[in-house]
Amino acid sequence: MKCHQGSNGPGGSLTAVKNAAPILGPKTVISVGACSGLSPDKTKLGDVVVSAKLTTYASKVVTSDQEQWAGISSYVSRRFLNIITNCADGWQPPLKNPEDRYINVHNNGEFLSGPEQIKAEWRRKELLDRHPLAKGVEMEGEGVFTAAFDTQLEWLIVKGIADFADGEQVNAERWETCASAMAASLVSHILSDPGVFRTWPHYQGIECL
């Protein structure tokens, strides 16, 4: 399924998951696509970040003399933590010339999720200073997490790095397509053995045919 950019607006990830879950009765919801990297010294374009942890960065308490972060941080479930630890084992990135580029999978990644489409170096540095372990920033994970929490679904965010949120003019369309393809390929690899998920409950315990 597809959703519009962002979490809470019309057609965003929150609405998409809540509308789809009662119809499809899934065992899990996985958000796949492209994100912005936060640490160009630790990651590179095309790398894939897998969410061991999701942090919402936009919520804050504002007083007369300061601002204080008031978001939430949540790890994925023990089920997914066990899977993503070795999720890249045996995976072959869908590259035309694999010898020309190495795609790294950051399977212990922390995503920052919020409403901003960030294209400014000062903002990237500000977020990284506040959350130094974060690997990527994106806009849909907060809605996926919220909807999955409300419907008691497993959740995971898997996204490829298409830029570094600094406003630099890279070939955005090319890298967004490449990054999304890398993430989708890795998710396909994770799902390739259905036996891994056989005992996971469906949405609200529904047994799907």
Could you write out the three-class secondary structure of 52-111? EEEEECCCEEECCCCEEECCCEEECCHHHHHHHCCCCCCCCCCCCCHHHCCCCEEEEEEE
pLDDT of 182 > 90? The answer is: yes
pLDDT in tens, 31-65: 999 999 999 999 999 999 999 999 999 998 998 88
Q: Which tokens in the block code for residue 58? A: 């936009």
Which 3 state secondary structure label does DSSP give 27?
coil
Length of the chain: 209
Q: pTM to 2 decimals?
A: 0.93
The reported pLDDT for the residue numbered 173 is: 76
Q: What band does 27 get if pLDDT is binned at 50, 70 and 90?
A: very high
First-last CA distance in the chain: 20
Q: What band does 209 get if pLDDT is binned at 50, 70 and 90?
A: very low
pLDDT of 208 > 60? The answer is: no
